[in-house]
Structure 1
Amino acid sequence: MSVRLKLTLSYAGFLMLAGVLLLTAVWVFVLRFWPAGSLVPKLSNLRRVFDPTNFGPAVFSTAAVVVLAFLLVFGLVGGWLLAGRMLTPLTRITDATRRAASGSLSHRIRLPGRTDEFRELADAFDTMLAQLEAHVAEQQRFAANASHELRTPLAITRTLLDVARNDDNHDTGELVDRLHVVNTRAIELTEALLLLSRADQRSFSREHVDLSLVAEQAAETLLPLAEQHGVTVETSGEVAPTVGSQALLLQMTTNLVHNAIVHNLPAQGNVWVTTSAQPHTVVLTVENTGEELAPQLVPTLVEPFHRGTERNRTHHAGVGLGLAIVNSITQAHDGTLTLSPRPGGGLRVTVRLPTAPPRTGNRRP
C-alpha cells in the first residue's frame, strides 16, 4: 500500500469512527433521555431507554446507514485529495532522486513554502546533490590529470627508445640515465596515487601518535635536502598526542616540510615546524619563507597536480600531489587543514587533529 492510500484510509477510518461515536451519542442521550418539548431530562424518563416501542429502530437505522455512507465517501475523497496535497513535496523529491540515479546531478528541488519536515528534507537533498556533483567533478578532473601525468613519462620513455633504436651511435649510458630519471618519476607518481587512494578509503589501523615526535623525525629525514637548498629547519613545541596511523601522519608531516623546503627563498630560507596541544585538538604548524603568494592562489594548492605555477620550481618539486595527500590524510583523521600566506612571503600551513589522552608509555625521552 502506498503512503497516500494509507493516509486516505486512515482519514476515512477516523472520520467513520467519529461518525459512529456521534450517532451513538445522539441515539443514547438525545433520542432516549430528552422527550419532545423538554429541555431537561427527568429521572422518571430513564425507564423509557429500554422501551423499544417508543422509537422507530428501522427509521433510525436507515438514517444512520445513509449518514455513515456519506461520511465514508466524503472521507475517502477528502482524504485522497488531502493526502495528495500533503505528499506533493515527496513526489518532487522522488523525481529528483530518479534524475540523480540516471546521472543528472545538476537538478535541484528548491522546494518553496514554509519550513517544515518536507522542506528540510528537500534542502538536505539539494545540499547532498551539490556536494556529490562537486565530488564527481573533482574525481573527473583528478582522473584526467592522473592520466596526463602518467602518460608523460611513458611518452618520454618511448621517444628515448625510438631515438636509441634509430641511432646506432647514441650513447647507451646517457640513455640509461635518462630512462632511470623518467622511470623514477613514474614510480613516485604511482606511489603517490596509491597513498592518496589509501588515505581516502581510510583503510589503516589507528594507534596513539605524538605529533611532536613525528615532526622531529620528518625534519631530521629532510635535513640533507634543506642543507642542499640552503634552508634552515627549526622544530619546537610541546607533546601533541593524537590517534591515527603513524605512517600516514609521518607522510603528511614529511610532505609539509618537503614542500616548505623546495618552495622557499633561493638562499638563506627558513622553515619553522611547531606543535601544540589544546583541550580538544592538537596543532601542527609548518611555516616557510618565500615569495609572496596571491590570496586566491593559496586555496588551490591542495588540488591534485596543482604545483603552484607562480611558485619556485625545482627538480625536487614533486609530482603535484604533496598537499593533496596532506589534505586527504588530514580528513581521514577527522582533522582540518588551513593554508594562509605569510606576511612578507611564504606559506603557513596548520593541521588540527583530535587530541588523545596521553599515555604513560608514550612520553618523549
Structure 2
Amino acid sequence: MKPSLTARLTRTLFFLIVVTTATSMFVVEMFVEDVEETILSSELKADAQYFTEQLGKGSFQPVKTGRLEATFLAQGEGEAVLPQYFQNRPLPFSEEIEVGDTTLLIIGEPIEEPSGTLFLAQDISIMEGRMGMVQLVLLGVAGFMLIVSFFVARAGAQYLVRPFKKLTLDVSNTVPSRSLSMGQIATDYRDREFCDIANAFNRFLSEIEAHIEREKSFVKLASHELRTPLSVMSGALNVLDQRQSLSAADQKTLARIRRAMQTMRDDTDVLLELARSEVTESDVKTIDVLGFAQNAVEELEHGHPDDAGRVELYKDVAGLEVIAQPALVRMLLRNLLQNALRHTHGKVEVRLTRSSLSVRDFGSGLPAHIAEELKAQDNASQKATSAGQFSNTTFGLLIVRLVCEKLGWRLEIPQSDSQGTEFVIHVSNLPGAN
C-alpha cells in the first residue's frame, strides 16, 4: 500500500523542525562556549595586567587562593619550583587544562621589567559545572521541542491535507451516470490551486455530460433510422404473402427472410441497449443453449455452405440452461461461432456443461493485444475499458465481451496460440440458482 500524503508531509515537517532545532541548539552551544571563553580570558588577562603593574612597582607578592594562583619566575631560575602544570610550556601560552577534578585556565607571559615570566592559574570548575548544567537543560529543551514538533508536524500536515481530502472525497463521490446529471463538485476552497482543480474537474464533467447527451441523441435517431427500413421490409413481405402468388419454394424463402428480419430486429434492439448501457429485464426466458447453438450453426451453414459440417456440438448429460434474453444469447453464440470459423479451416468444437460454454478452434490464435483486452474484464482495475482499446478489438469479439458484461458472465481465454483459440464462458444466472 502506498503511503498517504499526510504521513509524508508529517515526516517532512518533522524532519525540517528537527534540523532547525538541532541547528539552533548548536548555535546556542557555540555562543555560550564563546561567551564563557571570552569572559574567562578577559578576566584572567585583567589579573595578569594588574600583577604586571605590581611587578613593575616592586610590590608583587605571590598569590594562591581558592580560585586564583599567581607566581613570578625570575630569569635564570629553574622551573622546578613551579607547579607541574606550568612547566615545560612554550611562552607565551593560554590553555584550559584538567588537574584531577579541577579545571584550570592557565596563562604564562614573559615580563621585561623585571625580567622573567608571570604565571597565572584560575579555577573555573564552578563555571564548567554550570556550563554542564546549561548543556543538560539545552538537551532537555531540545528533547521537549522534538516531542512537541512531532505533534505540530502531524497537526500541520492534517491541516494542509484537509482541503485535498475534501476534494478527493468530492471527486470519489461523483458517480458516473448515463441518465442523470453527475452534478458539480464544490469550488469554495480558500486556496486558489484547489479551486482551479475543482473548476477543471467540473469542466470535465460538463464535457462528459454533453458527450453523453449527444450519444443518447444519436442512439435515439439511430434506433428510428434502423427500425424504419425494417418496418418497410416487413410490410412488403406481408403484401407478398397476402397475394398468394408465390410457389412453395418461394414461400420457404419468404419465411426464411421473415425469420432473418425478426432476428435483425431483435439484434438491433440488443445493440441499441448495449450502446445505451441500459439493463432491462424484458423478454427474459429460460433458454436451452444447445437449441440456440444448433440454430446458430444452421444459420451460418445456410449463409456459408462451405462451413457445413465444420461445427461439432458436445454436451454433458445435464446440458446447459440459462435465464437471459434470447436475443443476447443468440448474438453471443453467432459471433463466437463466426469468429472461430473465420480463423480456422478445420473443425470448431462447442462444448456445453452445466455451468459453462466453450468454443474452440484450431487456427493460429488471436493477436496478443486482442487477447489481453478481452481478458482485461476479469481485472477490476481494467473494467472500464477505453474507446481506444475497443477500437483494437474485432466487432464480433467486442459484441461477445459486451454481452458477457451485460449478463454478468465471465469470459475466459485459457488458450490462444499457434494450436488454436478457446473461449470459455462461465454463466451465473442458472435456473434454480439464488
TM-score normalised by the shorter chain: which range applies?
Answer: 0.3 to 0.5
Max radius of gyration: which structure? 2
What TM-score, normalized to structure 1? Answer: 0.41
User: Greater strand share, 1 or 2?
Assistant: 2
